[in-house]
Amino acid sequence: MATLRIGTRGSNLALWQARHVAERLGPGAELVIIQTSADKRPEAPLRSFDKSLFIKEIEEALLDGRIDMAVHSLKDVPSRLDARFAIAGVLEREDARDVLLTRGSAPLPASSTLSRGLDTPAAGGSTVAGSASVLPSGARVGTSSLRREAQLRVGFPGLAFTPIRGNVDTRLRKLNDGEYDGIVLAAAGLLRLGVAIPSEAYLPVETCLPAPGQAAMCVETLAGRTNLAATLDHTPTRRAVEAERAFAAELDFGCRVPLAAYATLEDAGLCLRTLVASADGSKLVRAEGEGRDPIELGQRLAREALAKGAGELLAAAR
């Protein structure tokens, strides 16, 4: 049996995800680490990026035959995919919520994958806990996500939001070193890496609606080779993220726009909640609806959002 070559970025989280896929596929899979344009600019603000920079070099490796498939965090994949490629498999979604971690009283678990690269805090030194309620007005909160910042400005107007870059390990280290009083991260990445999250750190989706595809992993292949990952597909997750990505694609969403979309399966089909915001959170356009066809649902709510004024917010962000 030929070896399946799986392309991945080199962060701890990306490697965890790629290894998880390799284990699901069985013996005969190997990882190929590829540095992307986003990896080459670790301190550049995310809002200056096009989403293609997270996967461009990996897709080039698919085209020239150096790899057979690639594993991505689905939220990093552009909502409009080049026709030469396909999302061959969408794995079951992890917890889609965001979390706000603060410097507090709960230490990082010693068994955490992340703690292996962290300096051990001295006695009485900084550790991480949760809950924005412990943060005073003016506290520095690190996030490079316009979506998170816009929504949290509404719920926590006294916080000072500051850009932060780097992988999960780096961001936690910056928090522990005192560069920030709090940081906002996706729960899914922390859970996959074995980091215990304080219950009070979770942000309800009503407070911070997730990004399209957040917490879902996907396998990308050339359009004619989707059979390579068909066994990995989790139908409920695929249907949910298809609705979210259809909403984003209809609005031509990129990293420069505070946009959120989160779908769940209900008795009546899919329930999709969406948001488009101004960068400062002063203007929010929400659209919510249900449907059985994920693409139709996403496109319908995008049109509803445009009718409510989302177009003006999108134009201002460009």
Q: Which two tokens stand for residue 251?
A: 């609005």
**140, 132, 146, 134: which is closest to 161 by C-alpha?**
140
Q: Find the catalytic residue in 50, 64, 68, 76.
A: 76
Q: Which two tokens stand for residue 236?
A: 């409920």
**245, 276, 242: which is closest to 260 by C-alpha?**
276
Radius of gyration of the chain (CA): 19
| Alpha-helix runs per DSSP H in 178-229 | 187-192
39 is a catalytic site residue: no
Q: Are 72 and 232 in contact (CB under 8 A)?
A: no
Q: Are 186 and 42 in contact (CB under 8 A)?
A: no
Burial class (CB in 10 A: 0-12, 13-18, 19+), 28: exposed
Three-state DSSP at 71 gives strand
| Alpha-helix runs per DSSP H in 143-269 | 146-155, 168-176, 187-192, 235-250
DSSP string, 247-297: HHHHTT--TTS-EEEEEEEETTEEEEEEEEE-TTSS-EEEEEEEES-HHHH
**Please, what is the angle between helix 294-307 and helix 310-317, to 10°?**
90
Parallel, antiparallel or unpaired: strands 29-33 and 85-90: unpaired
Catalytic positions: 76
